[in-house]
Structure 1
Amino acid sequence: MEFTSAEGEQRYAELVRAASGCVVALDFDGTLSPIVDDPTQAYIHPDAGDVLVALARQVLAVAVVTGRPARQVLALGGLEEVGGAVAEAGKELYVFGQYGNERWSSANRRIISPRPPRGLATFLDELPELLRQADAADAWIEEKGLAVAVHTRRLPDAHEAFGRLLPLVRERAERHELTVEPGRNVVEVRSPGMHKGVAVETLARELDARAFLFAGDDLGDVEAFHAVRALREQGLPTLLVCAGSEEEGSLEPLSDVVVKGPEGVLQLLRQLAADAAALHA
């Protein structure tokens, strides 16, 4: 792992000392699973389950905070099985899906979800025309129930198509009082008032966290990073981890540690679990 500053290295050491009261929250795509052309095939890294279970033994709780529907990430991550193993270790695994609108935990294996936002159905009806206007008619539309995502990754000019599409989608979404979340060659439209920062605040409050780590990879994680920095200002030991990539670098200036993709994230979590176990042996 590469610390972004001497302060980052010091924050890691403080987090190790506070590990028993630490909540570890992780994005899914690009952080625990690789970014792939077909998001339905973005399975979790094969080592992630074992790493999360070993980590859970040393920390207060582990959470996955994702823009994906909870049911989808449970399947792609094998997280029900992971949650069972975490529960056997006397700890709890949480999943916050659709930016925190959906919740699941290994103690309460039922997904709690609100109704779809007003205006989303109308926006979805209007979306094909927006894609034609952006010369991105072949972009892949992913309906998530509480949100809709438009992926340009499969297009020959993925980045340029994303740039053409974003302002059109933003204008139409705002007309329907919806929120736009840009990502890595994906634009997501969903209900306002919920984002990953709210999920971080909820976890910290409900679990009475005494330390917090968040790892993410793109713009959808910025609010979570800001929420963790707010916890830092309140005196909690914290660590912000960026799963770096050539496509997206917006989180690096906010991070304490930059690692390379899911492999790097898992390597850091292994090290954290090992250091915490050694310190408290």
Structure 2
Amino acid sequence: MEFTSVEGEQRYAALVRAAATCVVGLDFDGTLSPIVDDPAQAHIHPDASDVLVDLATQVQAIAVVTGRPARQALALGGLEEVGNAIGDAGKELYLFGQYGNERWSSTNRRVISPRPPHGLATFLRELPRILRQADAADAHIEDKGLAVAVHTRRLPDPRGAFERLLPLVREQARRHELTVEPGRNVIEVRSPGMHKGVVVETLVRELEPGALLFAGDDLGDVEAFEAVATLREQGLPTLLVCASSEEESSLESRADVVVKGPEGVLDLLRQLTVDARDLRA
């Protein structure tokens, strides 16, 4: 792992000292799961389950916070089984799907979900026309129930199609009072008022942790990073981790630690587990 400053090293050391009361928040795609062309095949890194279960013995709780539907993340991550093992250690695994609109935990094993946002069905019907207008008719449309995601990754010019689509999607979403969340060659449209920063605030309010780590990889994690930065200003020990890639590096300037993709995130979590265990020995 690469600290971005001396302060980053100091924040890591403070987090290790407070590990027993630390909540660890983790994005899914690009952070726990490698980015792939087909989002339905984005399985969690094969080492992640063991790393998370081991980490849970040293921290207060772990929360996976994703734009994916909760049930999809549960399946792709094998998170029910991970939750069982974490529960056996006397700890809890939380999953917040669709940017926090859905919630599941290893104690309450049902997905709590609101109704789809008003206007989303109309937006979805209008979307093929917008794709044709942007010369991106073959973009993959993913209906998440509470959101719609448009993936340009499999197009001949993914970035160009993304940049043509984004202003058109923003304008159409605005007409339906929906919010737009751009990511790595994906544009997501969903209801306003919920984002990963709200999830961070919820975790702090409900769990009252003594420290907080959040790891993410793209623009969908900005609000979480901002919420953590606010908690830092209030005196809470925190650590911000960027899982960087050649495609996306927007979080690097905000992070305390920069690592390379999911493997780098898991290496950091392994190190945190070892350092916390050694300190308590």
Question: Which TM-score band applies after superposition, normalised by the shorter structure?
Answer: over 0.9
Are 1:214 and 2:214 matched, yes or no? yes
Measured in 2, the distance between the counterparts of 1:113 and 1:211 equals: 28
The letter for the 2-side match of 1:62 is: I
Measured in 1, the distance between the counterparts of 2:153 and 2:244 equals: 18
Measured in 1, the distance between the counterparts of 2:174 and 2:197 equals: 21
Structure 1 residue 210: deviation in Å?
1.0
Alignment match, 1:250: 250
Greater than 3 Å deviation, 4+ residue runs: none
Alignment match, 1:102: 102
Structure 1 residue 211: deviation in Å?
0.4
Structure 1 residue 209: deviation in Å?
1.0
Structure 1 residue 119: deviation in Å?
0.2
TM, length-normalised to structure 1: 1.00
Q: Which residues of 2 match residues 195-214 of structure 1 at below 5 A?
A: 195-214=195-214
Alignment match, 1:122: 122
- Give CA deviations for 1:102-138 in whole Å, capped at 9, x if unaligned: 0000000000000000000000000000000000000
Alignment match, 2:11: 11
Q: Which residues of 2 match residues 148-227 of structure 1 at below 5 A?
A: 148-227=148-227
Structure 1 residue 233: deviation in Å?
0.8
Measured in 2, the distance between the counterparts of 1:213 and 1:231 equals: 11
The letter for the 2-side match of 1:208 is: E
- Other structure's SS at 1:58 match: coil
Measured in 1, the distance between the counterparts of 2:210 and 2:133 equals: 50
Measured in 1, the distance between the counterparts of 2:165 and 2:209 equals: 40
Alignment match, 2:68: 68
- Other structure's SS at 2:25 match: strand
- Other structure's SS at 1:15 match: helix
- Give CA deviations for 1:174-223 in whole Å, capped at 9, x if unaligned: 00000000000000000000000000000111001110000000000000
Measured in 1, the distance between the counterparts of 2:235 and 2:20 equals: 16
Q: Which residues of 2 match residues 17-166 of structure 1 at below 5 A?
A: 17-166=17-166
Measured in 2, the distance between the counterparts of 1:276 and 1:209 equals: 16
The letter for the 1-side match of 2:223 is: E
Measured in 1, the distance between the counterparts of 2:254 and 2:19 equals: 22
The letter for the 1-side match of 2:12 is: Y
Task: Identify which range, 84-93 or 203-212, moves more after superposition.
Answer: 203-212
- Give CA deviations for 1:223-271 in whole Å, capped at 9, x if unaligned: 0000000110110100000000011111000000000000000000000
The letter for the 1-side match of 2:11 is: R
The letter for the 1-side match of 2:139 is: A
- Other structure's SS at 1:230 match: helix
Structure 1 residue 66: deviation in Å?
0.2
Let me know the Cα RMSD of the aligned residues: 0.3
Measured in 2, the distance between the counterparts of 1:167 and 1:64 equals: 30
- Other structure's SS at 2:111 match: coil
- Other structure's SS at 1:55 match: helix
